[in-house]
A and B are shown apart, each in its own frame.
Chain A
Amino acid sequence: MLLTDADLEALNLSLAVASRSVLMSLPFALAVAWLLARRPFPGRTLFDAFVHLPLVLPPVMVGYLLLILLGVHGPLGGWLERVFGVRLAFTTNGAALATAVMSFPIMVRTMRISLESVDRGLEDAARTLGARPLDRFVSITLPLMLPGVLAGAVTAFAAGLGEFGAVITFASNIPGETRTLPLALYTALQTPNGDAEAARLAIVSFILGLLGLGLSEALARQVRRRLGP
C-alpha cells in the first residue's frame, strides 16, 4: 500500500496538530487538575462542570464558539491579530487549539485521578524535610503522578489525531494547513472515485490509533515498574 503525497501531508499534519494540542493543554490541564483536586474554592463544582463541557457539547458547537471568540473579527481573535499579529482561525495552530479544547477534559480527568491517588503523607514528609511548596510539587507530587500525566497526554494525543468537528468548524479544511487525517478522509468520501484513498486513510488512522494505545500501555507499565506498588 503506497501513500500519496496528499495522504502523507494529512498524516504529518495530524501528528503536528495532535502534538501541538497536547503541548498547549498540558500545563493548563495540570493546573486545573491541581486546582480541582487540592484547592477547595467557592464555585468549584461549577468550574468542574465547565471544564467537562467539551465532552458533552457537539464538537461543531465548540468550534463555532471558538470562531466567535477567536475568529478574525472575534473580540479575542481581533486583539491577538492586532497586538501580536497572531491568527488562529483557519491555521494549523488553530486546528491544534480546537483539538486541545476538545481533549482538555480527558487530560484533566486522568491527571486529577492520579493526583488524588498521591499519598499526601509523602508530601508532609517532604515538608518536614525542608521542601517548600513548589519544590514539593516538583520533587514528590509530579514524579508520583507521572503515570497519570503520561496517560493523559498519550490519550489526548491519540484522541487529537481524530478530532473532526471542532477543527473543521474553527480551522476549516485547508490542504496542507488544517486538513488532518479525518478531514482528508471525509474529503475523499465526498469526492467521486475517492474510495481507494478513503480506505488508505482509514487504515492509516486505524494503525495510528493502535500504536497510540500500545504506547500508552507500555509507558504505564514502565512507570508502574519503576514506582512499585
Chain B
Amino acid sequence: MTIDVQLKKRRGAFALDVAFSVRGPGLVALFGPSGSGKTTIVNLIAGLIAPDEGCVRLGGTTLYDSVAGIDVPVEARRIGYVFQDARLFPHLDVRGNLLYGAKRVGAATAPGELAEIVALLGIEALLERRPRGLSGGERQRVALGRALLCRPRVLLLDEPLAALDLARREDLLPYLERLRDRLSIPIVYVSHQFEEVVRLATHVVVLRAGKVVAQGDIAAVSLTAPLREMVGSEGLGAVIEGEIEALEPDTGLARLRVGTGRLKIQSEGIALTGLVRVQLLARDLILAVEPPRGLSVRNALAGTLASIVADSDRTHLVEVDIGGPKLLAQVTASASSELGLSVGRPIWVLVKTVSLRGHVYPAGPTREPPPAAPSAPGGAAAAHETWADAPPP
C-alpha cells in the first residue's frame, strides 16, 4: 500500500509544507528535532488537525484532498494512532480498551484476532487490569493492540518510546520490530532519536522547521548533510545493510557481506540470519591509501573515494563507495591533505570489529514492494488483511 502525503499548514509563524510518498509495507520514520512538525504531520494524516491544503492518500483511498473537497472524518479514516502518552481509557480495563475500536469499525472481530494480537504484544496477563496499574511500556503495548484491533489502513506512532526510560525502550523495541516485519500496512513513526530510526526505519523523512530536508532509505539518508547537522559528529555514520554469510562460533564473530567486501562483527547474543543493518560511526573508521598489512584490525574494506566535504575547520568527511553501499569516515583535515585524498582514488576503510557492537539490528523487510495483496472487502477473507503472509517469528 502506498502512502501519499502532501500537506500545507500554517500556524502563526510556523509553516509546515511537506510531501512524501512511500510504498509500504514497512516503516516510515519522520525524523527531526522538536518543533520540526513531526507530530503535526501525523495529526494531519489522522485528521485531528485540518490542513490548509494538500492531500492524504492511502493506497487507492483518498482521506483528504483540498482540491477535490474530500475530508473523511477522523472516525471513518481507519487510522491506528498510538499517542506518545498511550491515552488508554482509565475507566475501562485492558480488554475494554483493546476492544473499544474493534467494536466500532463494523466488521466483527474474528475470534482468534484478539488472542493473536494479545500474544504478539505479550499482554496476555494484563487483560483484566486497569490502565493505571500498568507500566509505561505495558501501556504502549496495549495502545498498539487497541490501534491494531480496529484493522487500520496505516499505523501512526508518535514517539511511542519517548515517555519510557532506557530499559523500557529496549523492552518495547522488539515488539515494534515484530510489527514492522509482520504487518502488511505502512507504519508512520515519529522520532527524534536517530538510534530508533536506525533500528526501525525502512524509509526516512528528515524534517526541519516544517520542511522535508532529506528523504529516502536509511542508507541514503544516513549520508546526507541535513542529517549530519542533526545527529552531530557523535552519532554520525553510514547505515548499511548486509547479508550474513557465516557464523564463526569459536571466535564469536559473524561474517557479513556488504557491497563487494566482507565485514566481521560480533555475533554475541544476537541470532544472526539473513539481512542485518549496521551503523558504522564516522569517527570509528580509519582510512588507508594502501592495502593495510600487519594490523590487529579485523576489517578492511576496499573501495573508491566518492566525495570529500569539510565537516568543520579541522575535519573532513570522506564518503567511500565499497561496491554499492557507501561509508562515511571522519578524518582530520591535515591527515586528509597528507594522504592526498581525492575523489576517485582507491581507498581502504579499517573498522575495528568491536566498534560495531550495539549497532547491529535485524534489517526490516526488503525494500522491494511485495506483490499487491488481494484486497477483499469485508467477510472472513478480510479478517487478517492487516497481516502480511510472513510466518510467525
Contact = CB atoms under 8 A, between A and B. Distances in A.
Interface of A: 119, 121-122, 124-132, 135, 139-140, 143-144, 226-229
B90 A126 contact: no
Interface in B242-272: none
B74 A127 contact: yes
A111 B338 CA distance: 77
B89 A128 contact: no
B90 A228 contact: yes
B80 interface: yes
Contact of B91 (A124, A131, A135, A226): A226
Contacts of B89: 122, 125-126, 140
B87 interface: yes
Contact of A228 (B76, B85, B130): B130
B104 interface: yes
Contacts of B87: 119, 121-122, 124-125
For the complex of A and B, 4 pairs with smallest distance between CB atoms: A129-B101, A228-B132, A130-B104, A125-B87
B100 A128 contact: no
B91 A130 contact: no
B100 A129 contact: yes
B132 A128 contact: no
Contact of A227 (B46, B48, B83, B91): B91
B150 A130 contact: yes
B170 interface: no
Contact of B75 (A127, A140, A143, A228): A127
Given A121-B83, A128-B74, A143 B91 contact: yes
B105 interface: yes
A144 B91 contact: yes
A228 B81 CA distance: 24
Interface string B85-114: 101011100000000110011000000000
A144 B88 CA distance: 12
B318 interface: no
Contacts of A229: 132
Contact of B90 (A127, A132, A144): A144
B272 to A, nearest CB: 38
20 contacts: A119-B87, A121-B85, A121-B87, A122-B87, A122-B90, A125-B81, A126-B89, A127-B75, A128-B74, A128-B79, A128-B80, A128-B101, A129-B100, A130-B78, A140-B89, A143-B91, A144-B90, A226-B91, A227-B91, A228-B130
Nearest to A128: B81
A227 B80 contact: no
Contact of A129 (B90, B104, B130, B131): B104
Given A124-B48, A228-B90, A131 B83 contact: no
B132 A129 contact: no
Nearest to B91: A143
B146 interface: yes
A131 B102 CA distance: 10
Contact of B104 (A119, A121, A131, A227): A131
Contacts of B90: 122, 144, 227-228
